[in-house]
Structure 1
């Protein structure tokens, strides 16, 4: 199932732009945005990452709004459907990384990224 429906791409792009504009105003401004804006911004940016680095090898999860598989590598184990590399981020962390507000190293050092596997660093793919 796609992370965002084709008919929602324009809505997702608007939400992403709205989030970035709010982030440029102040670090706290995005927190004032409605939940649906956050959801669409997350889904849209995950879609962009999936297009940038397609593949079945790494699962990127941004709960509760989306998960994608990216990068070449071993596919999911047929018994549990989870690839050997899994990265989990909160929505605010993900959007900061996608926008280039913070770096992968900053968020990892702060303990905001849960990553398991050999390919646990997406810094070469970010910001979007």
Structure 2
């Protein structure tokens, strides 16, 4: 089983968010993406939905039926900038879905109850 993600130290998150407004550095995108996915895992424990933010990370979360092999029945995929905007409250779940910035299929893929983080 892959190692669980861990939230980053608050100072690193704060610095990365500040730098992000100036330019989107890959290291900052990676740190923030993994940090916010780790927080989602904590806020919505479970294994029924897979949230993917390629190329940085993916997590399984939300209580429900667990999948064990292959593509899970519930998948959410988005890019790092969109994920960070959702996690920080700059973008709502409904707007992200309406603008096709998030692809969500299957049951339990509405994360609006868990966002912003």
1:110: which partner in 2? 99
Task: Give the ranges of 4+ consecutive aligned residues of structure 1 lying more than 6 Å apart after TM superposition.
Answer: none
1:43 aligns with one of 34, 37, 45: 34
1-structure distance, mates of 2:11, 2:34:
12
Contact 1:3 1:43 in 2 (8 A): no
Alignment gaps of 5+ in structure 1: 24-28
Deviation at 1:37, TM superposition (A): 1.2
Deviation at 1:70, TM superposition (A): 0.3
1:83: which partner in 2? 72
Rg larger for: 1
TM-score when normalising by structure 1: 0.80
- Deviation digits for residues 25-78 of structure 1 (CA, Å, limit 9, x no counterpart): xxxx25x04211110110011001001111110000011100000011111143
1:54: which partner in 2? 45
RMSD (CA atoms): 1.9
From the two aligned structures, give the one with the greater helix fraction.
1
Aligned length: 116
Deviation at 1:84, TM superposition (A): 1.1
TM-score when normalising by structure 2: 0.87
2:8: which partner in 1? 9
